[in-house]
Amino acid sequence: MPIATVNPASGETLQTYEAMGEEELERRLQLAEATFRTYRTTTYAERARLLNRAADLLDEDRADIGRVMTTEMGKPVQQARAEAAKCARAMRWYAEHAAELLADEEPAAADVKDSGAARVLVRYRPLGPVLAVMPWNFPLWQVVRFAAPALMAGNVGLLKHASNVPQTALYLEDLFHRAGFAEGCFQTLLVGSGAVDDILRDERVKAATLTGSEPAGRAVASTAGEMVKKTVLELGGSDPYVVMPSADVDRAAQIAVTARVQNNGQSCIAAKRFIVHTDVYDAFAARFVAGMAALKVGDPLQEETEVGPLASEQGRADLEELVDDARRSGADVLCGGERPDGPGWYYPPTVLAGVTREMRIHREEAFGPVATLYRAGDLDEAVLIANDSPFGLSSNVWTREEAEVDRFVRDMEAGGVFVNGMTASHPGFPFGGVKRSGYGRELSGHGIREFCNITTVWHGV
């Protein structure tokens, strides 16, 4: 895949880039290793000063970088600006909280005494250069939620971004440099996916984080396992959105539309499977389908656009295959389902009902504005359908019954359960999944500690 900006609204190639050669890649790896030796000794206060400066610059650049993201991958420009603002907030959150999250810990006094020590501390120390293999769908946020905690912990970052968002990737490197970070603290590697294996095998790279597809995750995990290196993986998702009889159906249907089509439906944590109790199924379906059909699809640079094009021609083709397979197997298309004429990789908001386990869309992730509706006879069946997926990233539950909330929280096979609301990420809360959605956690204290050497310091009497 070429490293290029291709406008998904028109299919026009706007800019292409040459992949870095071996000599430049080697220079950057040497620089990362050398920079880490000194950067790791900086104080939390100094790192926070730099990261806060980066946040300020990002706020100033919000409109410009928002247009760049929209041009590269097609998200509505309002959502692009919101993504930039969210990144700046996350930077400030880690700048404020990192010292506390990584403060030395003292084990229980009884355990210290039992060990025969005079004192024991648990200290969090940085690992070194961390390779981040990042996707195009949230081209700023996915990187910042790795970079902010990694830099505050004293690590340095090497970014291999998706090949269709090179301008965003280069902007991130420039942003951190303008903020005052040393050149080797954060570097963008303009390389193809075929170079990842060799980079990860390099002894100077100490760990890796990947957000992306399951095949990409398997490849990185396999190499990292062979090299005995720490990894965090955030892979696909096909999140359930369960609506029970006690729910506010109007509100649940309204939020369901946003939960499905955020980022043009190209989000791992977007709700994709809507599981509705039979008592409220018809009411919910009517409101949900009407809301999906009413969305304004168009030029993502226009302020009023709610759904833009898919990021790539192949992505649209993959989505069409899932819908066509379901249609051939008997699913009902309640709205959408037909590729529009004209340029760009657009696909309409689509709702499918009557989905069965034999259909591909039941077990595969639909990465675009396509929703599937399921009817559940009771809570047990709702849980069964929700968990009948190879993925387990997050989940959404709408009910006013506390007993039902407790049951869903207990039984949902997911890294998050969002009650009476849609899944969202926040720097203060851990984020990640189970099953084929990956392992490890990003964000919060859990995320910043993933790439730390958790060290026991034992003092004798």
Distance, CA of 356 to CA of 136 (rounded, Å): 31
Beta strands in 127-238, from DSSP E residues, in sequence order: 129-133, 156-160, 186-188, 207-211, 230-234
Task: Decide if 268 is catalytic.
Answer: yes
Residue 140, token pair as written in the block: 């700023």
Q: How many helices (H) and strands (E) does the chain have?
A: 16, 19
Active-site position among 33, 72, 87, 268: 268
DSSP H or E stretch at residue 255: helix 249-261
Active-site position among 234, 320, 442, 450: 234
Please tell me the number of Cα atoms within 13 Å of 62 on its side-chain side: 15
Please name the residue ranges forming H helices in 388-435.
Answer: 402-411
Across the chain, which distance is largest between two alpha carbons, in Å?
A: 79
Task: Decide if 234 is catalytic.
Answer: yes
Taking each helix axis as running N to C, give the angle between helix 62-73 and helix 77-101, from 0 to 180 degrees, rounded to the nearest 10: 120
Residue 362, token pair as written in the block: 């039941």
Residues 6+ apart with CB under 8 A from 204: 29, 30, 32, 33, 128, 129
Query: Which residues have a catalytic role annotated?
Result: 234, 268
